[in-house]
Chain A
Amino acid sequence: MVPEIMYSEIKCVLCQRCVNACPVNAIKVINGKIHIDRELCNVCGLCWEACLNEALKVAGKEVTVKEVLSIVEKDRIFYERSGGGVTLSGGEPLMQAEFSAALLAACKKKGLNTAIETSGYQKWELFLPILENTDLVLLDIKMMNTDLHRKIIGVPNNLILDNARKIVELGKDIIVRIPIIPGYNDSIENLRNTAEFAANIGIKEVHLLPYHRLGESKYNQLGRIYNLKDVNVPSTNYIESLTQIFIKNNLKTQVGG
């Protein structure tokens, strides 16, 4: 995991101060747009400092467990009141499994409530130390058909489903979260299978998360291609109708997280 430069076209006035500031000549103006060569960029941050319009910023930074903990501690008074706490979420906490485990252990030591929001795709040996200090697991199950899962998500789903079972067996509180992405995983069949799977292994609660496009601008700013441009945000009524599938399986069902 490394920090990256984010570039907001809307805020940019093309003053080219960043172009001049970049020591490795990674920034150029092409067709009236700033272009960052991300191969060359070493994220030194000089362009960001030079920018007067906050059009450039560094996304991500290296932090220690101690640093994160001191930020977390600031809101303690509110956690105590609400029973809330710390949730490690996206990106993907399992991609930095060791750090996540250490951070959660530190939080637990301070008596904080902990949760993770995860795809569940990680070897059990690395997952388990995280779970040991996690009070609540919010686990994505995106689709039940392994082949489709492999094709769309890029990996098979066996590991995720196995992990789901094991988490339940560990006695951890777990909520299954299903992002509803029209045309990809919102078939009745998939949702029914998901509901049955969840109910069978002893899960009690699911959240349906309707697809939204809030991430699109971030993709653009990071110079990445957003592949779901054609997907429409599902209507509230539609999502409400899908909850019936889960409620029928005696699952406590909620729309939104």
Chain B
Amino acid sequence: MNPRIKSLKEKILSTPLEVSSKRAVLVTEAYKETEGEPIDIRRAKALKKILEGLPVWIDKDELIVGHANESFRAASIFPEMHISWLGDELDRLEKRRQQPFSISEEAKQNIRKIIPYWKGQTLYDFAFKSYPEEVIDARERVGLFSSEQNERGGVGNVILDYPMLLRNGLEKIAEDVKNRCDKLDPTDPLNIERIQFYRAAIITCEAAISFAKRYADLARSLAEKENDQKRKDELFKIADICDRVPRKPAETFWEALQSIWFVQLITQIETNGIAVSLGRMDQYLYQYYKNDILEGRLDSEGAQELLECFLIKLNELVRIYDEKAALINAGLPAFQNITIGGRDENNKDATNELTYIFLDALMELRLPQIHIVLKVHKTTPTALLQKAIKSIKAVQGMPALVGDEALEKFLLSKGVPQKEARTYALSGCVTPGVYGVWSRGGAAYVNLLKVLELALNNGVDPLTGIKAGPETGNAEEFESMDDIINAFKKQLESLITRTVIACNILDRVQAEKMPHVFLSIFVRGCIENGNDATRGGARFNFTRIMGGGLPNVANSLAAIKKIVFDDKKINMKQLIDSLRNNFNRPEDEIIRRMLLSAPKYGNDDDYVDDVAVKISDLFMSEVEKYHNPRNGVFIPAYQTLLSNIYFGWRTGPTPDGRLTGEALADTLSPVHGTDKKGPTAVLSTVAKIDHARSSGTILNLKFNRTVLENERDEKKLIDLIKGYLVDLGASHVQFNVISSDELRDAQRHPEKYRDLIVRVTGYSAYFVELSKDVQDDIIGRTEQVLI
């Protein structure tokens, strides 16, 4: 590794997590100054104020510049979105179980000072005041679903149109916006909001250009003082680049990366949006790379160095969540997805030199916030897959792999034109999208196993006694599987209804209180329509609901079918009694063993897989019924992050033999320890779910390091990957390559494993930064053996 990169990486690794109050103070001042102004303008002026007030600094090793805060690993606070939680947690931030942060006394003081101003006035407060009681009950008290993510921060899960930025530059974009604005008839009431949005957009463009200018000036003054000639030249060069971009179109690879970084940084300073994604970087950067090479400005080593400087930057965007959200998002994921590989518009393989350079950089850096997804299709070169597997081994599961066919089909079914669908990219962990998709990535997670629990308890949550669903009958009297499925279906309908209400209310609150003005510029459709992304300006508008616990539901229903109705070993009453007794009496243990011995999801056994498919179809059909305030539709997905652990806490004993509090299955992966027929059986089971109907379907497999030692083993894994993603048409698979002994050792000796990265689910994190619950969950995933 070159010394510059090594040093930058070390700074990321050794800088402690810290909370910064800078942004919080600035945004509060801005809001005080702009009270009564239209919200778009307020947001734009707030961004301007922040960008003028943030400290600018350039580290001596940096080639790509621009920081969100005064240190490499500091989290900003977004008080306009949610702040009361921080008031509660301020004094125990350093000691909390999940993701502790350090905070200076001064920052604490600053935050305490601003809290009163925001009381009752944050996005979170507005949303909460709007939710009906039954929605709050279902979510907060019963744990039927979770939809907190977008009420505590901005909306992300979007692929920004960086090719457009690189082509035009902000100056021209602002000019275009001004022209559009000037053409509007200001007497038409429909144009009032458009004009406000356009004016706000121009303010943000100018603010971003000025921010870059501050860096240009700083670089120049540093250069003048610099004694080392080489660094002096670099600083002058940085100054020139920051003078030009993002204002002007990018002309070189370096300019392109710097321009993107400024915008990537500023959108997140603006919105705190999770999963602001970068699209197919190997594709749209290629022309800049190739030109530089042809004209002798750059060689592939230089390109890799610049790229690594850029990728390291992505790790600076640190998020802080309240403790509960921190659990679901363990490991500080920012989900800034970079897509590589795949096909071009004409269906040809699109791999180029940069595709490989991204993998080289990934392997060299081994940093968790570099989230790369490789699109796999029929003609993906074997050499590329070989390199990907080397990287998966070195970086614990990165890149993630997705199958073109399923995701293309999904997008086509949602009205995306063929050529765009073919060249889709990913946002978030593995959400398929194109420019102009606004999909409220983590809008809601629903607890399907809790739905079954309600179906078996006539709509009453046994843990809290709260009536959380309709009365669907006394389960002790159910006479067939149909009775149970019907009850499940009614409970599901009721849950999805409430989830949709929560999502739609929040959507309206976002639109009204938290427009994403600067970010919207890069969401195709918004400028054209003169409308912010939160208000439906994007070309495609979805709201995603993620199904959690499907494997547990399938296992539970299959166990009831087998033990109660087919083999008639016990009756429904005995089963319900046993569950109500939490499997605690001696006779319950026998019943629990019977339930555990029933066929289990993940073994390519249709007895249970058929149930999984049926329940999945029910869930998807239910979600697909609804539309959102942005003139778009609800779409299902299976990407549950770590909600499986949270939902596990909220769910009592279940007929799959699961005990109270145990984590649910990790998205669509089999329940820990129940897949006994090897990886092909797991893949075959999971592929039975309709992937082309789901906006992302996560499967995590863990391989022991020892089974991927040589090229023969790697070849087997490539065949397995292609079999799953190409032949079976599945959408995503990720691997952890590690031994559970290693992980246990890392639990005991975290100091030795500071840079050990694991796939958590859909993203990577430092193992030692995860809480023990999450660590145990990862250790528990069945290790697969390739025979």
Interface of A with B (CB < 8 Å)?
Answer: 52-53, 74-75, 77-78, 80-82, 84
Contact = CB atoms under 8 A, between A and B. Distances in A.
Contacts of B727: 77-78, 80-81
Interface stretch (B241-249, B544-552, B717-725): B717-725
B191 interface: no
Contacts, number: 34
16 contacts: A52-B589, A52-B593, A53-B593, A74-B604, A74-B681, A75-B681, A77-B727, A78-B680, A78-B719, A78-B720, A80-B727, A81-B726, A81-B727, A82-B715, A82-B720, A82-B723
A130 B720 CA distance: 29
Contacts of A81: 719, 722-723, 726-727
Given A74-B681, A82-B715, 14 more contacts: A53-B593, A74-B604, A75-B680, A75-B684, A77-B684, A77-B728, A78-B683, A78-B723, A80-B723, A81-B722, A81-B723, A81-B726, A82-B716, A82-B723
Interface string B573-596: 000000000000000011001000
Contacts of A74: 604, 680-681, 684
Interface string B364-403: 0000000000000000000000000000000000000000
Contacts of B715: 82
Contacts of A53: 593
Nearest to B678: A75
Contacts of B716: 82
Interface of B: 589-590, 593, 604, 680-681, 683-684, 715-716, 719-720, 722-723, 726-728
Contacts of B726: 81
A68 to B, nearest CB: 14
A82 B719 CA distance: 5
Nearest to A74: B604
Nearest to B716: A82
B524 to A, nearest CB: 37
6 closest Cβ pairs, A-B complex? A82-B719, A52-B593, A78-B723, A81-B723, A75-B680, A77-B727
B234 to A, nearest CB: 47
Nearest to B684: A74
Nearest to B590: A52
B385 to A, nearest CB: 12
A26 B720 CA distance: 45
Contacts of A52: 589-590, 593
Contacts of B728: 77
A25 B363 CA distance: 62
A81 B725 CA distance: 12
Contacts of B604: 74
Contacts of A78: 680, 683, 719-720, 723, 727
A151 B780 CA distance: 46
B116 to A, nearest CB: 59
B730 to A, nearest CB: 11
Given A52-B589, A52-B593, A84 B684 contact: no
A82 B722 CA distance: 9
B714 to A, nearest CB: 12
Nearest to B593: A52
B723 A77 contact: yes
B436 to A, nearest CB: 36
Contacts of A80: 723, 727
A80 B684 CA distance: 14
Contacts of A77: 684, 723, 727-728
A84 B604 CA distance: 19
Contacts of B683: 78
A193 B339 CA distance: 56
Contacts of B720: 78, 82
A77 B726 CA distance: 10
A226 to B, nearest CB: 23
A74 B720 CA distance: 14
A24 B263 CA distance: 78
A80 B680 CA distance: 13
Nearest to B679: A78
B679 to A, nearest CB: 9
A85 B723 CA distance: 14
The residue among B683, B715, B723 with the most chain A CB atoms within 10 A of its own CB is: B723
A78 B604 CA distance: 13
A75 B723 CA distance: 10
Contacts of B589: 52
B77 to A, nearest CB: 50
A75 B720 CA distance: 11
A75 B680 CA distance: 7
A180 B34 CA distance: 81
A144 to B, nearest CB: 28
B548 to A, nearest CB: 28
B728 to A, nearest CB: 6
A131 B681 CA distance: 29
Nearest to B597: A54
A80 to B, nearest CB: 7
A200 to B, nearest CB: 27
Contacts of B593: 52-53
